[in-house]
Structure 1
Amino acid sequence: MFLRLAATLALCLAAGTAFAQTNVKFTLGWKTQGSDAAFFLARDKGYFKEEGLNVVIDQGEGSGATVTRIMGGAYDAGFGDINAIIQNAATRPADAPVMVYMLWNQPPFAIVSKAASGIRTPKDLEGRTVGGAQGTPTTRMLPVFAKTNTLDLAKIKVSNMAPNLQEPMLLQGQIDAALVFNITSYFNLVLNRQDPDKDFSWIKFGDYGLDLYSNGVMVSQKLIKENPKAVAGLVRAINRAVIEIGRDQDLGMEAVVKFDNLVNAGVEKRRLQYSYDTLIVSPEMKEIGVGDLKDDRLKRAIGLVAAGYDLPRQPEPGEVFSRQFLPPKAERELVYVKK
């Protein structure tokens, strides 16, 4: 009898544990894209559930807006730009979220032009008109980019425009180049039946002195303080999915289409692979593992962002990024096999 009661009690406790999940509201950086596959896969394969989490995923309004959404209390976590964290940590250090998993080790900030324009290097931008969306990191960092590359900014005309007009105006010849996120602009061109590799030139900020980090998983300081176990579980689950998708992108795309069956699966699979090819996989990532970063590089990046946005102070790396929730490096060794 005693053994039967003990067994029943154990089953009840186990069932109670299974249902006592922590709710986490998670915002994407933008609308559903192939590059978000890891979040959907972690949900569909039960990785979040295994960590005791019920993660609700919503579409976003921009990688910078992820920060403001979390600061406003509407979301606990999300995928967004570390540079937006830097900006807010400079003025509201107690409220700014903290990045806990760096995914885009390489920055997406770039200047795209038609190959026929002859724009190949930063110096070629002088005397030209470039289109920029006001407030975006690429546009805001142009003065720092110009200073770093000894450009005369007075010789570069910047035409302000909405982000969705940049590629159309470039194609129509109304601007000579556009200040963009490469992972967005590349596929806007694809959707406009263009060949972004053959017919366009790309000047990447990271290749010309602005060695910035970019998007990753961030969480509120409130969640870190009140439930650090949930933060660690969130990171572990996402990391598992990132590693799996590196080996099998079709697995990731199944999760993307399940989340939003209106996406263009062919284009979004290319975007998913582009994110690994261009933004995630790098010599540094191979050295330290996916999810981590180097503090000295982050410190230099903070200085660049502080100059670009005229911040009142430079936050310390520890205010912006925390590696305390990362799984061991052996679990973060990414093998990317393009399929």
Structure 2
Amino acid sequence: MLKRLSAVLVGSVLLSGAAFAQETTIKFTLGWKTQGSDAAFFYAKDKGYFKEEGLNVIIDQGEGSGATVTRIMSGAWDAGFGDVNAIIQNASTRPQDAPVMVYMIWNQPPFAIVAKKTSGINSIKDFEGHTLGGAQGTPTTRLLPIFIRNNKLEGEKIKVTNMAPNLQEPMLIKGDIDAALVFNITSYFNLVLNRQDPDKDFKWFAFGDYGMDLYSNGVMVSQKMIAQNPKAVAGLVRAINKGMIAVAKDQNAAMASVVNFDNLVDVPVEKRRLQYSFDKLIVSPEMKEIGVGDIKDERMTRAIGMVVEGYDLKRVPSTKEVFSREFLPARTERELTYTAN
């Protein structure tokens, strides 16, 4: 009897060891530091969705949504949350190395120009004769010339002052610049943290409302992982999709997972950022039509053209080089209903 029990115990250990050995580790980089808008990733990890797919997902903080692309290209990370426009840039010059987006989250672009209501800027035409502060190299700053041309503004009358990103809101508040070229989901909460009322005291001009119909952040993976382990890619997308659907319905549960990942976050601010991401970046008529995670190819083709022009790229990548819907769950599984709570 004792021998039989020992055999069963040994067999159990071997089986559990085999199961553990089969688990795939994925190094996943965020676009920035821990934020409420990343809740779906933390929720999927917290609730065991990754584990259910046989994945051990290690989530690291990021250095910028554009840096997600270069991090993955370095080989140190397998996947991450970042800007599809940075994929376009790299797919133009290094098509064999650039990652591929497999799940679009921010259906609407965060690129915006924000001005104090007391600045006298009430329409985009009013940018003429004023000074805008921009961080060199960011999409909002780089794409400004196309914004100017598409909206028939007189660019020679618009002054752009280069500055570090962390100086934009302080200089805007002080009046050293008249408006700032920003990511709305970042700048809005920088103003909140500077004890400003970004709705009452500031006016926002979203690029997407003025002919710059770009896509933005989502889940991207390396070409290596797609080639070597497509099952893991599909599992990663399924787990994140389940997280997105759940977080859209219950932001309090979502924030509990954020805190489990990083207990130093400012919960009220980050919950507000999470809800802002749904209100401004995720939920849109297109997302409701095609489901969360997908894109429209013709829109992406136009967006690629704008980025190629804005960054003076020599080669135009194809939509398939930039985005793959191969790993998306069925449309019925990507029905996202957002309820603020």
* TM, length-normalised to structure 1: 0.96
Pairing of 1:1-339 with structure 2 (within 5 A): 13=15, 16-339=18-341
2:231, 2:63 → 1: CA distance? 28
Give the distance between the partners of 2:50 and 2:23, measured in 1 at CA: 10
Worse-superposed segment, 13-22 or 322-331: 13-22
- 2:131 maps to amino acid: T
Note the C-alpha offset of 1:20: 1.7
The 2-side partners of 1:11 and 1:190 are apart by 53
> CA-to-partner distance for each residue in 1:271-291, whole Å, 9 max, x for gaps?
000001110000000000000
Are the aligned partners of 1:120 and 1:203 in contact in 2 as well (CA < 8 Å)? no
Q: Is the 8 A contact 1:90 1:312 kept in 2?
A: yes
- The farther-off stretch of 94-103 and 111-120 is 111-120
For residue 185 of structure 1, give the secondary structure of its aligned residue in structure 2: helix
What is the distance in 1 between the residues matched to 2:82 and 2:192? 24
Q: Offset of 1:166 from its aligned partner? A: 0.2
Aligned length: 336
Separation in 1 of the partners of 2:101 and 2:26?
A: 16
Rounded to whole Å, the distance in 1 between the matches of 2:299 and 2:236 is: 25
- Alignment partners' CA distance in 2, 1:204 and 1:250: 28
Q: Give yes or no for contact 1:129–1:156 (8 Å, CA) kept in 2.
A: yes
Name the CA distance, whole Å, in 2 between partners of 1:289 and 1:14. 37
Give the 3-state SS of the residue equivalent to 2:156 in structure 1.
helix
Q: Output the CA distance in 2 between the equivalents of 1:293 and 1:14.
A: 40
2:16 & 2:327 partners in 1: Cα distance?
A: 25
| 3-state SS of 1:290 partner | coil
Q: CA deviation at 1:62?
A: 0.2
Distance of 1:176 and 1:200 partners within structure 2: 11
Cα distance, 1:118 vs structure 2: 2.6
Q: Give unpaired runs (5+ residues) of structure 1.
A: none
- Cα deviation, residue 116, structure 1: 1.6
Q: Secondary structure at the match of 2:85?
A: helix
**SS of alignment partner, residue 51 of structure 2:** helix
Amino acid at match of 1:255: S
2:65 aligned partner, one-letter code: S
User: 1:16 and 1:246 mapped to 2: Cα distance?
Assistant: 36
Post-superposition offset of 1:9: 7.2
| SS of the residue 1:158 aligns to | strand
* Mapped partners of 2:153, 2:44: distance in 1: 45
Deviation at 1:97, TM superposition (A): 0.1
Shift of 1:258: 1.1
Give, as a single letter, the amino acid of the residue that structure 2 aligns with 1:250.
N
For 1:13-54, what per-residue CA distance to the aligned partner results, in whole angstroms no more than 9, with x for missing partners?
576235421010000000110001111111111110110100
Task: Give the secondary-structure state (helix, strand or coil) at the position aligned to 2:204.
Answer: strand
Give the letter for the 2:302 counterpart: R
Shift of 1:120: 2.5
Partner SS, residue 55 of structure 1:
strand
**What letter corresponds to residue 227 of structure 1 in structure 2?**
N
Shift of 1:117: 1.6
Report the residue type matching 1:105 in the other structure. Answer: N
Tell me the SS of whatever aligns to 1:130.
Answer: strand
Q: Distance in 2 between matches of 1:130 and 1:182?
A: 15
Any idea what the Cα deviations from partners look like across 1:61-110, whole Å, max 9, x if unmatched?
00000000000111000000000000000010000000000000000000
SS in 2 for 1:110: strand
Deviations 1:137-186 (A, max 9, x none): 00000001000001111111100000000000000000000000000000
**Identity of matched residues, %:** 72
When the two chains are superposed, the root-mean-square deviation of aligned CA atoms in Å is 1.7
- Give the whole-Å Cα distance in 1 for the aligned partners of 2:264 and 2:11: 47
- Post-superposition shift, 1:10? 9.5
